[in-house]
Amino acid sequence: MTGADRSAAGASLVAVPASSYPGGEPDGSRHWRRNLAVCAFGSFTTIVAMTLLLPFLPLYVEQLGVADPAAVSEWSGAAYGATFLAAGLVAPLWGRLADRYGRKLMLVRASLGMAVAMSLIGMAQDVWQLVGLRLLAGLLGGYASGSTLLVATQTPKARSGWALGLLSSGIMAGNLVGPLLGGALPPVIGIRATFLAAGAVIFAAFLATLLLIREDPRPAGMGHARSGGWADIPDKRPVLAMLATGTMLLFATMSVEPIITVYVGRFVSAGEVTVVSGLAMSATALGSILSATRLGRLADRVGHWRVIIGCLAAAALLMVPQAFASAGWQIVALRFLLGLALGGLLPCVASVIRHSVPERIAGRVLGYSVSAQFAGQVLGPLAGGFAGAHFGMRAVFLGTGLLLALGAAANVLARSAQGPRLDGC
């Protein structure tokens, strides 16, 4: 998938008539379709650039002078995780600044900063510079989370689930395409040139953001008004439920990653392990890409909480047969179905938060949501690896299913406690 393909997908939004969705557009920007198209393209390209180094990162670490195999693994893990650690820590800060100074400005900052950082990574001279520049990319980045904020606040509430679902598809497509390009480009143009090419693509996203996104004027004094943060949220329970759901979702999704290759090795031949494992991981992302917009549109009709609860319950059930898979095609098919179930969750989480907080602090709270998701992304693999080593790999799948089921039950209770006022949320 190229940037042109993503732009074409986003451009199709302009043709969608207002009558296709419930409600009107009184609470959304008149530019929301164009903004969504640019944000989907920019998020796709930046995520591709951030993930394309996965296949060749250990090779680059070796090029920078690390010879010991154990040290190569350690430095590769540190370099890869540094970006996401830094991004999770600063997400609330960028959200708060977006509330104060504007969402477009934060996207311009993120795309330009990531373009510079990605190009500099291709010029690193030692492994310390590599890790430092990956940290810098995380600190300066945040385009995808900033796009979520802009789309959530500029799109009519009656269409927010569909719009966030389309944006989520772009983000997940980037996660899928990035490693594929990372495996194909270095043999052709070299590792360093691959980073420079990624920087150039992100710079194109910067230009598109600068020239094409239109953010409606903010009410006078809104950016400088005193913000009380949590004190300004009339009912904190839905927001807390969504923060916990986001953490739990990423925790459950990532818990299987460390053991999937070893697990697949139990029932496929040695020569097929990497192929089947790669297909299983890609199948989850592909399922999420296909279902995100459809589940978002469904959530706009029946309510975001209902979709969250249903998706969590379906995902919990799908984890059980994965623990007893006995063939490669079974695990690939089940991971694809799991992706279909999970595809609508994060857009719905963002929509519930958007509906539950005043606009003047939406950026800050959505920033907290991003940080909560990063926490799950970090803790999930640690817990999955520990459980797999001490309790067996089946326990990872069954434990993850139990966690998802508990999440569904907790959301049922949280929604019931709010009463009928959340029926449309």
Please report the domains of the chain, with CATH numbers, ordered by start residue: 1-215 (1.20.1250.20), 231-425 (1.20.1250.20)
Q: Which has the minimum average pLDDT: 150-159, 216-225, 406-415?
A: 216-225
Write down how long the chain is: 425
Percent of the chain at pLDDT exceeding 70:
88
- Phi, psi of 239, rounded to the nearest 5 degrees: -65, -45
Please name the residue that has the structure tokens 């990532």.
254
pLDDT at 334 over 90: yes
Judge contact between 69 and 254, C-beta under 8 A.
no
Q: Which has the minimum average pLDDT: 12-16, 98-102, 351-355?
A: 12-16
In this prediction, residue 315 carries a pLDDT of 93
Band the pLDDT of 350: cuts 50, 70, 90.
confident
Dihedral sign of CA atoms 196, 103, 80, 319 in order? negative
Judge contact between 239 and 349, C-beta under 8 A.
no
* Selection from 66-80, 235-249, 358-372 with the highest mean pLDDT: 235-249
pLDDT at 337 over 90: yes
pLDDT at 18 over 70: no
Return the H-helix or E-strand segment holding 395.
Answer: helix 393-418
Q: What does the DSSP assignment read for 53-120?
A: TTTTHHHHHHHTT---HHHHHHHHHHHHHHHHHHHHHHHHHHHHHHHHH-HHHHHHHHHHHHHHHHHH
pTM of the model: 0.71
In this prediction, residue 124 carries a pLDDT of 92
pLDDT at 16 over 60: no
Bigger pLDDT: 312 or 217? 312
Band the pLDDT of 25: cuts 50, 70, 90.
very low
Bigger pLDDT: 219 or 68? 68
Nearest Cα residue to 140 out of 104, 121, 114: 114
pLDDT at 211 over 70: yes
Judge contact between 256 and 376, C-beta under 8 A.
no
pLDDT in tens, 253-280: 778 876 777 888 888 887 777 778 778 8
Dihedral sign of CA atoms 235, 238, 241, 245 in order? negative
Residue range 294-309: average pLDDT? Answer: 88
Band the pLDDT of 294: cuts 50, 70, 90.
confident
In the predicted model, what is the mean pLDDT of the chain?
81
* Distances, alpha carbon 366 to alpha carbons 34, 292, 359, in Å: 22, 19, 11
Instruction: Label residue 412 left, alpha or beta by phi (over 0 means left) and psi (-120 to 50 means alpha).
Output: alpha
Between CA 211 and CA 199 the distance in angstroms is 18
In this prediction, residue 355 carries a pLDDT of 82
In this prediction, residue 420 carries a pLDDT of 55
In this prediction, residue 191 carries a pLDDT of 87
pLDDT in tens, 164-181: 888 888 888 888 888 778
Bigger pLDDT: 375 or 199? 199
DSSP symbol at 215: P
pLDDT in tens, 28-73: 568 888 999 999 999 999 888 877 887 778 888 888 988 887 788 7
Between CA 385 and CA 405 the distance in angstroms is 21
- Phi, psi of 70, rounded to the nearest 5 degrees: -65, -40
* Distances, alpha carbon 23 to alpha carbons 27, 251, 361, 379, 425, in Å: 10, 35, 25, 40, 14
List all residues 6 or more positions away from 129 whose beta carbon is below 8 Å from its beta carbon: 64
Contacts 24+ apart (CB under 8 A), 16-22: 21/156, 21/158, 21/159, 21/162, 21/297, 21/300, 22/158, 22/300, 22/301
In this prediction, residue 20 carries a pLDDT of 37
